[in-house]
Amino acid sequence: MVRWDLAAADRVHSVVTPGGTRVFDWITRVGSPNSMTWMTIVVCVVLFTSRRLQLGIVWIAAIAGGSALERIIKSLVHRTRPEYAGHYLASGSYSFPSGHATLSFLGVAMLLYTLIATDRLTAPLLRRGAILAGALWILLVGLSRIYLGVHFPSDVLGGYMIAAAWFSICVTTAHIIAHSSVVGSRE
């Protein structure tokens, strides 16, 4: 894995251009944990004011829990950043998993889940297009982290896996709670 990470990082970094850096810098900023936090705040305000409390709580659990998981795992693993990261990062933090990959995955997954759960994406073609666009965005954010030299590919993949697992836990728990309250109210 380490050899693959190093070879991939060297390969990607050999094709870095100023224009590519500007594009991927923009992508990484839009897909940042801060951006995902602000998106969560805005969506939760909308959900809470429209009385969709459970969905708002799932958002908070997904983003706050994912952020906590990412930080805990970073502190446990202590993986150093790629050698290319020095010029881009102002502060020294650990590399595994990628917080951008983790939280952009969670933010986009929650946004899609919310749009589907609130019947905003009922047309099959529109739903597939939104899911495809979301997946493409998540991949671009991860690629931006590798392109900018601040993460290895396995850091990004690890972030995606953590996010997918945490998203599944959050949504499954919400469905179990919703189902048990419906069943409980029938008895």
94-140: pLDDT as tens digits: 889 999 999 999 999 999 999 999 988 889 999 999 999 999 999 99
Task: Give the separation between CA 105 and CA 91, rounded to whole angstroms.
Answer: 23
pTM (two decimals): 0.89
In percent, how much of the chain has pLDDT > 70?
Answer: 91
pLDDT averaged over every residue in the chain: 89
Is the N-terminal amide bond of 97 cis, ω within 30° of 0?
yes
User: What would the pLDDT profile of 15-74 be if each residue is shown by its tens digit?
Assistant: 888 898 899 999 999 999 999 999 999 999 999 999 999 999 999 999 999 999 999 999
Task: Give the separation between CA 54 and CA 72, rounded to whole angstroms.
Answer: 26
Task: Give the separation between CA 16 and CA 34, rounded to whole angstroms.
Answer: 25
Q: Is 93 left (phi over 0), alpha (psi -120 to 50) or beta?
A: beta
